Each structure stands twice: as structure tokens, then as C-alpha cells.
Structure 1
């Protein structure tokens, strides 16, 4: 299920600023810090993130035209703030939700599969992790 663009716009300007305040305490939320591919500005986007064996999977609910996704795919510096930790991420790659599900750790898999986003997931590797 792809979320309509008007909802994405609302979330970007209203929901995301509020969500950033609670992401440190919720297990499947994290704040992705990325650099704008055109502006060079640093952005912080709250997202659904799930642990994989060498990094994280992030569900893509707004389609491939989403700004945060485009920014991360160009390969700029990307950090994840999750539950009080900051993790540098590399090697962004867009895959199907099913392909990423096989890499999500067993503890996170039921929640991952439960979200209705079925379009894609972004896989990122923790910087320095063996591939």
C-alpha cells in the first residue's frame, strides 16, 4: 500500500516534528539523519526501522519519489538515531519488502511483516560491519 502524497506532505511538515520527540523510546522507530542532495541541508526524518544482521531495514511507504529516500540513495552521510544510540550507515540499496524480510532479525520480523507498506524497503549496513 502506497500512502498518498498529500499525507506524506502533511507528515513531513506536521507529524514528523512531533514524532522526533518520541522516537527515542519506541522500539521500531528511529530518526534517520541525511543530507539533502540539492540543498546540502541536514535533515532528520522519523521512520520505521528494523534491525537486520548487519544493519537496518527501513520500510518505504511513500514510494521511490520520497525525498529522504532519494537523499540517502545518492550516498551522502547517513546516521540513525535509535534508542539513545547513533549509528553511521552505508551501502544503501532498495529491495522488495519480501527480500528485506529475510534479513530482518527474527525478533523484529513479525512487526516488520505487520506493517501494510508492501512496496519496498531500504537496506543499510552499519559502517564497518562485515558484508
Structure 2
């Protein structure tokens, strides 16, 4: 009896490890079928659950609100943000293919929900990890290396961008 229980537990653990390794390899290699599978899994299942608390006070997950390029609808997507002096940085584990990112880049602006507040952001730029990776916390740098995240999205607070424009004039 115990042998069956241990064998079953071992098989479940081995399967979980195998799936994790496949996920990491798919992300590092930027293998499009694997990325597409993970994106759809997140969009169809995990994002809905994450949006229940994302952006609320004390939540580790934030929300980016953007307007669709074609539909004009407002979309909310859970993301992880890292604060910087003039805005935030978002890791892009799927590269530049997600629709929310295309929407933000096309519009040149968005809003982020953080700790119950809403902040306007502007001047979105895709930058390399080499360029801004030093601004990430140590754990995030480790995760970025593990999953092969080479691109990040840099967002500026709208007020900071407006102040910079006034100074430049």
C-alpha cells in the first residue's frame, strides 16, 4: 500500500518538475508554441483570478489599464511592476507580442493601478535588460535570468514626463 502511495506521489512530483523545466525552456528559447500556450493559460484562467485583488492595497500584483487599438475598449491586465525614480519597469517574459503591450505602445500612454491608487503613465519604451536590469530587485534579476527575460517595458509617471517637458522649454 505504502509503495503505491509513494510511487503516485513521486510520479506527481516528477510530472510537476518536468512541466516546470518545460516552461523554463520554452520561455528561455522564446519557443512560440510554448509562449502562446502559457499566454492563453494565463489570459483565460489565471488573470481572471489575479484581477480580483490586483491593484488593491497590499497586493503584490498591479494592473495596467489600456485602450484597445482596434476596439477602443478598456482592458485591465495584471502585471508586476518595479518602481523607479521616474516611473515603473515591467518585465516582458513573452517578449513584445502581448496585445496589452502593443496597445500601450500604440497609444503612448496607459494607467496603472497600484495599492488602490491609479497613476497615469506615458512614454512607454521597450528597453533591454542590460540597460535597466540593475534597477530591478535581486530576486527579479534572478527570475529574469532564469526565464531569459531580455526585454522590459519602461513607463514614466505622466507628472514626471510633463515636468521634464516644461524644464526642456
Query: Measured at CA, do residues 8 and 123 of structure 1 come closer, stay the same or move farther in structure 2, by a change above 3 Å?
Result: same
Higher helix share: 2
Of the two structures, which has the highest relative contact order with CA contacts closer than 8 Å and spacing of 6 or more?
Answer: 1
Q: CA RMSD in A?
A: 1.7
Shift of the alpha carbon at 1:63?
Answer: 1.6
Say which of 124, 135, 138 aligns to 1:110.
138
Higher strand share: 1
TM-score w.r.t. length of structure 2: 0.68
TM-score w.r.t. length of structure 1: 0.86
Aligned 1:1-131 pairs, distance under 5 A: 1=28, 2=30, 4-23=35-54, 24=56, 25-27=58-60, 29-102=61-134, 104=135, 109-116=137-144, 117=147, 118-129=149-160, 130-131=163-164
Segments of 4+ in structure 1 off by > 4 A? none
The structure whose Rg is larger is: 2
Query: Measured at CA, do residues 18 and 121 of structure 1 come closer, stay the same or move farther in structure 2, by a change above 3 Å?
Result: same
Matched length: 126
Unaligned runs of 5+ in 2: 1-27, 165-169
Q: Distance in 2 between matches of 1:112 and 1:73?
A: 23
Q: Distance in 2 between matches of 1:18 and 1:38?
A: 26
Q: Distance in 1 between matches of 2:71 and 2:113?
A: 22
